Structure 1
Amino acid sequence: MGTGTGRKFLFVLGSARRDGNTEQLARLAAEQLGDVEQRWLWLGDVPLADYRDVRYPVSERPEPTGNEELLLDATLEATDIVIASPTYWYSVSSSTKRYLDHWSNWERVPGFVEAMAGKHLWAVTALAEEPHQAGALLDALERAAVYLKMTWRGGLVGVGNRPGDVLSDTTALTTAKTFFTA
């Protein structure tokens, strides 16, 4: 991947702390993208309000504003969306879940569903246990991709409990070198 590919990666960082194992693993994998455009948004910097289902009636649906509008625009501008969330209790973090929940309301934004079709959805996660424990997280994201007719590109899973531990996971580090280019 290089200049002229037209690809734009959005990294949605859902960790409760900056530069945690998940983010470190995502950044190592992203090094392989070269000069492909990348945008990194830590959800701690752009928090969303708790999700309220306001899909119906459509006439009462407020337009996204503030952080919600920023995240919606970033999502729509990307060709590739990377959900970088630690595995917490076998699922994504609460801030990541809130971001994904807002996709339900965004389905009523004109053009959102059509724009999501064909985008690529990726996952990067780290957890303190065995990699297979991330299965529910990966399954949920794959189902979201299928629902919106996105292309599911899979998950990069690393093991690390304390900050920096993932850098000792040689399997994850090897996979990171080709994750976005395979």
Structure 2
Amino acid sequence: MTATLESVRSRSFAFILGSPHGGGNTEALARYAAEGLPSDAGAGWLSLSELPLPARPAGPLPQGPEKVLLDATLDSTDLVLASPLHWYSVSAATKLYLDYWARWSGLPDVAFRERMRGKNLWAVTAYARGDDTDTEPLTGMLRRTADYLGMHWRGALLARAHREGDLEADPAALARAATFFAPPHHP
């Protein structure tokens, strides 16, 4: 029997953590969801607080944290932006990371837009107050970003969690997390 490319191809998830501090509810929610990744999928975790991007690029070519983030972005099949809800959108660090996508699109020999086409974009967000409708600006921005780059928008995993431990007290949020990456996923 000959294996097709699709049957031997594994997926690679890059979890981009956008919280200003580690270990918060958004990261916990993302880690719960990652437990349900397909068995042949790889996962890498990158914290924007540990890989800070300067407001302006340091030079003409990516280096340091910028190079690490560019490589992870391009090498993954699935990008998971795990950002708490800040003023109805992603965190400042996550927004800056997305701003760098425009820079990378203009770099010669990177072929950023072409290499982003066909990738999957996911979001994981915990929010402290309100309800899921408060996340619409965040999810709308990411969906439009995916559309613009020819990526597949796979949806957002949302949970209301204000204090540490709130997720563990919400079995419905944990159940959604457990199956979030399970195929087939249709937003």
TM-score by length of 1: 0.90
- Is residue 47 of structure 1 aligned with residue 52 of structure 2? yes
151-160 or 123-132: bigger deviation: 123-132
Q: CA deviation at 1:4?
A: 4.2
The match for 1:93 is: 91
The match for 2:180 is: 179
The match for 2:114 is: 114
Q: CA deviation at 1:89?
A: 0.8
Q: What is the one-letter code of the residue matched to 1:22?
A: T
| Counterpart secondary structure, 2:167 | helix
Q: CA deviation at 1:164?
A: 2.4
Distance 1:167 1:48 in 2: 32
* Structure 2 unaligned regions, length at least 5: 1-6
Is contact 2:19-2:91 (8 Å) kept? Answer: yes
Aligned residue among 71, 78, 86 for 2:76: 78
Q: CA deviation at 1:170?
A: 2.5
Q: CA deviation at 1:167?
A: 2.2
Distance 2:164 2:56 in 1: 30
Is contact 1:51-1:101 (8 Å) kept? Answer: no
Q: CA deviation at 1:171?
A: 2.4
| Counterpart secondary structure, 1:73 | helix
Q: CA deviation at 1:35?
A: 4.6
Distance 1:18 1:147 in 2: 30
Distance change (3 Å), C-alpha of 1:51 and 1:100: farther
The match for 2:35 is: 31
The match for 2:18 is: 14
Is contact 1:48-1:67 (8 Å) kept? Answer: yes
Q: What is the one-letter code of the residue matched to 1:112?
A: F
After the TM superposition, which segments of 4 or more aligned residues of structure 1 sit over 6 Å from their partners?
A: none
- Identical columns (%): 49
Q: CA deviation at 1:63?
A: 1.0
Distance 2:164 2:25 in 1: 6
Q: What is the one-letter code of the residue matched to 1:42?
A: S
Is contact 1:116-1:150 (8 Å) kept? Answer: yes
Q: What is the one-letter code of the residue matched to 1:163?
A: E
Q: How does 1:132-147 map to 2 (within 5 A)?
A: 132-147=133-148
Is contact 2:78-2:122 (8 Å) kept? Answer: yes
Q: CA deviation at 1:131?
A: 2.1
Is contact 2:119-2:152 (8 Å) kept? Answer: yes
The match for 1:162 is: 163
| Counterpart secondary structure, 1:172 | helix
Q: What is the one-letter code of the residue matched to 2:177?
A: A
Report how many residues are paired.
Answer: 173
Q: What is the one-letter code of the residue matched to 2:35?
A: E
